[in-house]
Structure 1
Amino acid sequence: METFGIDAFVLLGGLLLICGVIVAKFSNRLGLPSLVLFILVGMIIGSDGLGIVYFDSVNTAQLIGIVALVIILFEGGMQTKWATVRSVAMPSLSLATLGVLFTSGIVGYTAYLIFDVTLLEGLLFGAIVGSTDAAAVFAVLKERNIKAKMGATLEAESGTNDPMAVFLTLSFIELISIDNSTIWSLVPSFFLQMSLGLVLGLVIGKFASFALNRIKLESSGLYPIFSLAFAMLAYSVTAFTGGSGFLAVYVAALVIGNSELTYRYSIFQFNEGFAWMAQILMFMILGLLVFPAQLFTSQIIISGLVLSVVLIFVARPAAVYLSTIGMKYTNKEKLFVSWAGLRGAVPIVLATFPIVANLENGQLFFNVVFFIVLTSTLLQGSTISSVARMLNLTGPKKDTPHHSIELISIGKANAEMVQFQTNKDLALVGKKLHELNLPNEVTISAIVRDEELITPYGETEIKAGDFLYILVATKHKEKVRKIIEAKKQPEVV
């Protein structure tokens, strides 16, 4: 019987992953974010649905959620280009701190008025839904042609505002549970957590980049696992020292992702696939945790709808406009950032904390938060592209290659196959290969144009949108980078 149970568990896991991949494939066609469908699958197979799986362990769901969020944050941070983030650093940080405070305050006071709870309990509810969700934002914005400035703002905000929401949630639980706690005693703790998260994230990110390039491993498949181990290390070490583990993970990922890495594309592809698996598992587990019979009651639906309206149409826009005063954002951009403030896994995971702490209204808060997340992802997540087009904030279509070449890496041969995509602003576009003046130990080994492989030779002309695969010796890497990234000179009239 035990063997059958194990076999059935493995079969169920395989079927859930297959279901998750298929759901991700068709989510865009259905016009719904994939995370909503993952949650729905969990609810359907749960005890209130088909009854295939009974799951009610809040502690297990919380653990799985935190680990999955570390993986998702790490992948999102690695994919984020520092040059893009740097241009929106101040507004993103303002949204991640002041924005969360304003949102939490407005929603929290509304919850205090709606529910029969104390003001502190209302503010706790506001803190739980105060932050946008990295998993939701990264998933929804991926491959959508949103302007770079808007995408960078939202991704940087969602990657850095989780620590603020976690801090506020834990602080209000402490204020409710411990009689002698005061809000002023928590202020030093906030600065300590953020400082440790930033510093340790930078240190571990630098060390990870050094270790990935200098330690020669026997198999290329070990490098992605090695990189992910540093994400776990960043979270745990920072959390143990009293800092913000989520902030440390995101900062470390930014540092690693913007460094020159051995087996770079293997690392990126592994983390992307693992992040998808983490999303599927996390949202399905969270879907299993909720009981639809408790969720879809008149009290939850009415209070959830009221709080959703306040959050989406009042609190979030107010937070965005107040947090970006004096910053170079147009009204259209502020409206879009307001609309794209998706809620997802983070609020649901945070909603488990009051239950674990045995607070009186913990289960009520969890159910209402879950309803708000469903409302936010269904309404906002499915209309982001349409709103961006309406506000004229769409950029060029994202052209993500479905191919990669990594024959040799600097870890073993002091050479690397580098991928580079051209655009119309580069000086090399329109030139033939023999005109590029590349060093002798550099070879353009392949060109992918419109999903077709072109074998290059001296007379091959480079066009905008080409993916160049360049075999380059380590010592010439910077020189080659300067040549291929050189911009066109403006014409003199």
Structure 2
Amino acid sequence: MISGAFNVDYFILLIAMLLIAGVLTTKFSARMGVPALVLFIIVGMVAGSDGLGFIYFDNAKYAQLIGVFALVIILFEGGLQTKWKTVKPVIIPSLSLATLGVILTTTIVALAAKLILDVSMLEAFLFGAIVGSTDAAAVFAVLKGQNIKERMGATLEAESGTNDPMAVFLTLAFIELILAPEPSYLGFIGNFFWQMGFGLLLGLLLGKFASYSINKINLDSSGLYPVFAMAFALLTYSAAALMGASGLLAVYVAALIIGNSELTYRHSIFRFNEGFAWMMQILMFIILGLLVFPGQLFQFDIILKGLLISFVLILVARPVAVFLSTIGMDFDTKEKVFLSWAGLRGAVPIVLATFPMLAGIPNSQLFFNVVFFVVLTSTLVQGSTITMLAAKLKLMGPKKVSPPHSLELVSIGKANAEIIEVEVEDNAKIIGQSLADIKFPENTLINAIIRSGILVTPSGDTVIREKDFLYILTSRKSKKKLEEFLKEKKVDSEDDDGSEQLKMKM
């Protein structure tokens, strides 16, 4: 009894220490110019049996389980934060990179792996598939808060959110080709369209259903809404996966739908999932760091092979895939160079590298070690220089300003009202008008205005300006009407004399 309790307490203590170490590394990563996920991996390697020896972990099955669960949460959070209006213009090139780009990368890396690793052609293609996709966790983590041009950031985020299913499909397909005595190639084609098509459809349906359910249900505690939303993410993945479709694609699509819908307790849902995604990212990379043994990884043979394949992946395969996948898609050379360099590898290749290990594929341990080294090289070299390259290529946008946190009532279920946050958009009809002159829908009240980071106490004489953040108390019944009212635009001065008066007040 005492021994069992001690083991449980020791395990909880280790989790606490690993999370604390992971959180603290995010502080140092910005100062050191190194992506946080690299430091997470290092924490795991140091704490492992080849390091300080705190934890012995070599279970690829558990690592895969934790990795997939974490990827679901990370993709869900990334989809929630993605604005459809920024993704829509780049959806075609993003999907082209996520499909054709992955296939081209897989093929080029496979040809290199055949020569460098001295494996069979099918095994070489398996290796290429494992490292063929960019990683959502790595891309979201590196781009978060950076002022890279919106179009570039949207393309990378949409690509990384949608190309994991292609990498998973190709990895499982090549494992089956290696193991199956008589594989069905036509079956693979049909399976591909089923996985992508049904995964997309299920994501759309469950995303709509989740948004509807979150807004219609009245819960007594505001803390239950984020849990409710996260439960739909897990439901979406499992439902798609159990039906043989792509669970990761379904989750990302559902998150896009939910994140771009009007939600009750929207900010609570977003903040909870942001924190939970960070926690899962920390645990996932630390666990993956524990799974590797530095004594096996940092051998001359692995280092040499890893460096050669990294060279081919970063400087040959990815650029070729980007330039060919975006032909005729209105990207100039500078933008294509940036997209080529920003194709980060991260958790997904490492998680996929556990699949051959569990399937008993020959050379699976070699694949895992080389993949791990490739990921370290990619995140360390590319991840730490993305912002610098964007600045060099003049692809930096205006500095991003994080809006203030919104205020929400304790319980919508009891109060049937909430305080919403609205940023005054360009050319909004209310710009230049005083609060006394604006005819807001009934049951609404301006509580506060944040202007350039400064609190402005509202009064009847207060004039609304562009980029103001308005905090408005409204009833649930009036919320939709209020949002539509705030989206109204000014009419041209030539057609409406009233707009001239608005301009004069400004």
**TM bucket normalised to smaller:** over 0.9
Alignment of 1:162-181 (within 5 A): 162-181=164-183
Gaps of 5+ in 2: 495-499, 501-506
Q: Partner residue of 2:304?
A: 302
Query: Secondary structure at the residue paired with 1:286?
Result: helix
Between the aligned partners of 1:425 and 1:309, the Cα distance in structure 2 is 49
Residues 4-403 of structure 1 aligned to structure 2 (within 5 Å): 4-403=6-405
Q: 1:336 and 1:489, CA in 2 relative to 1: closer, same or farther beyond 3 A? A: farther
Structure 1 position 7, deviation (Å): 1.5
CA contact (8 A) 1:69 1:135 kept: yes
Counterpart among 439, 462, 470 of residue 468 in structure 1: 470
Higher mean Cα deviation, 456-465 or 85-94? 456-465
Counterparts of 1:380 and 1:491, CA distance in 2 = 50
1:237 positional shift: 0.7
Is the alpha carbon distance of 1:490 and 1:142 closer, same or farther for their aligned partners in structure 2, counting shifts above 3 Å?
Answer: farther
| Counterpart contact for 2:196–2:246, Cα < 8 Å | yes
Cα 1:90–1:73 shift into 2, 3 Å: same
1:311-351 deviation per Cα after TM superposition (whole angstroms, max 9, x unaligned): 11111111111111111111111111111111000000000
Aligned residue pair count: 493
Letter in 2 for 1:284: I
Report Cα offsets for 1:443-463 as digits up to 9, x if no partner. 221122344433222222334
CA deviation after TM superposition for structure 1 residue 424, in Å: 5.3
Please report the TM-score for the alignment, with normalisation by the length of structure 2.
0.94
Displacement of 1:84 in angstroms is: 1.5
Q: Which of 461-470 and 113-122 deviates more? A: 461-470
- Are the counterparts in 2 of residues 214 and 411 from structure 1 also a CA contact under 8 Å? no
Task: Please tell me whether the aligned partners of residues 73 and 134 of structure 1 are also in contact (alpha carbons under 8 angstroms).
Answer: yes
Q: 1:95 to 1:409 in 2, by over 3 A?
A: farther
- Matched residue SS, 1:437: coil
**Alpha-carbon contact 1:192-1:243 (below 8 Å) kept:** yes
Q: Evaluate the alpha carbon distance shift between residue 310 and residue 353 of structure 1 in structure 2; reply closer, same or farther with a 3 A threshold.
A: same
| Aligned with residue 405 of structure 1, among 403, 407, 415 | 407
For residues 91 and 412 of structure 1, what CA distance do their matches in structure 2 show?
Answer: 46
Does the aligned pair in 1 maintain the 2:135–2:347 contact within 8 Å? yes
Per-residue CA distance 1:403-462 (angstroms, 9 max, x = gap): 331126755544332212235554544443234332232222112234443322222233
**Could you say what secondary structure the match of 2:455 adopts?**
strand
Q: Is the 8 A contact 1:262 1:411 kept in 2?
A: no
For residues 460 and 318 of structure 2, the distance between their equivalents in structure 1, rounded to whole angstroms, comes to: 55
Q: Which residue of 2 aligns with 1:442?
A: 444
SS for the counterpart of 2:34 is: coil
Tell me which amino acid in the other structure corresponds to 2:38: V
2:497 corresponds in structure 1 to: none
Deviations 1:176-211 (A, max 9, x none): 011101433311110010111011111111111111
Q: Taking structure 1 as reference, are residues 423 and 26 closer, same or farther at Cα in structure 2, changes over 3 Å only?
A: farther
Measured at CA, do residues 334 and 427 of structure 1 come closer, stay the same or move farther in structure 2, by a change above 3 Å? farther
Deviates more, 1:419-428 or 1:222-231: 419-428
Compute the TM-score of the two structures, normalised by the length of structure 1. 0.96
Is the Cα contact below 8 Å between 2:220 and 2:412 reproduced in 1? no
Deviations 1:86-144 (CA, angstroms, capped at 9, x unpaired):
11111111111000000000011110111121111001000000000010111111110
**Is residue 496 of structure 2 the alignment partner of residue 485 of structure 1?**
no
Q: 1:446, 1:454 within 8 Å by CA — same for their partners in 2?
A: yes
Question: Percent identity at matched positions?
Answer: 62
Tell me the secondary structure at the aligned position of residue 38 of structure 1.
Answer: helix
Instruction: Measure the CA separation in 2 of the matches of 1:29 and 1:12.
Output: 26
C-alpha contact 2:219 2:412 (8 A) present in aligned 1: no
CA contact (8 A) 1:124 1:169 kept: yes
Q: Cα deviation per residue 1:250-281 (whole Å; 9 max; x = unaligned)?
A: 01111111111111111111101100000000
Once the two structures are TM-superposed, the CA of residue 482 in structure 1 deviates from its matched residue by: 3.7
CA contact (8 A) 2:236 2:247 kept: yes
C-alpha contact 1:263 1:409 (8 A) present in aligned 2: no
Call closer, same or farther: CA 1:409–1:219 in 2, change over 3 Å.
Answer: closer
- Distance in 2 of aligned mates of 1:77 and 1:296: 36
Q: Distance in 1 between matches of 2:488 and 2:26?
A: 38
Q: Distance in 2 between matches of 1:341 and 1:429?
A: 41
Q: CA RMSD in A?
A: 1.8
